[in-house]
Amino acid sequence: MGCCLTSWFLKKQAALAISTTEAEYVSARKACQQALWMKQALIDYDVRLDDIPLMYDNKGAIDLSKNPVQNSRTKHIEIRHHFLRNNIQKGNISIENVSSEDNIADILTKLLKREPFNYLRLGLGMMEQID
């Protein structure tokens, strides 16, 4: 969308999350998998990328993905969900904070008032600003 390579899908999660942070962490892992798949697919077109930034608006999920230490709050999370953390440590993916107001993906997942909707729609690069 716009100038960015994008993959978007909606799927009911099979895992039960105890917290919003855990649910966001699980969805970030899926985004990481998609990004790495696209990175590999682009090699066929001689496009090579170093690290891929994932933009996320949940501070707890970002902190969890950067902290390699298991503690009592994270010990129940299945090992497969730490795929994101492993790829951040390897340097394949970087995860960056984006404010909720600037999170363009919200236009696809949330009911928005007219002003935020128009602002995010401009961010998609799919229309020009109308004064």
Beta partners for residue 93, in sequence order = 52
pTM of this prediction exceeds 0.85: no
Q: What is the pLDDT of residue 107?
A: 84
> What local confidence, expressed as pLDDT, does residue 2 receive?
53
Per DSSP, helices labelled H in the chain are 20-43, 59-66, 83-90, 106-109, 114-123
Which pLDDT band, with edges at 50, 70 and 90, does 31 fall under?
Answer: confident
Rounded to an integer, what distance in angstroms lies between the CA atom of residue 12 and that of residue 34? 16
95 falls in which pLDDT band (50, 70, 90)? confident
- pLDDT at 1 exceeding the cut of 60: no
User: Which of 122, 16, 118, 30 minimizes the C-alpha distance to 77?
Assistant: 16
Q: What is the pLDDT of residues 68-93, one digit of tens each?
A: 665 555 555 666 667 888 888 888 88
Residue 94 has pLDDT above 70, yes or no: yes
Other CB atoms within a 10 A radius of the CB of residue 55 amount to 16
Average of per-residue pLDDT across 59-64 = 82
What does the pLDDT read at residue 71?
Answer: 55
Those residues with Cβ within 8 angstroms of residue 124's Cβ, 6 or more apart along the chain or in another chain: 1, 2, 104, 107
How, if at all, do strands 93-97 and 52-56 pair?
Answer: parallel
Mean of all residue pLDDT scores within the chain: 77
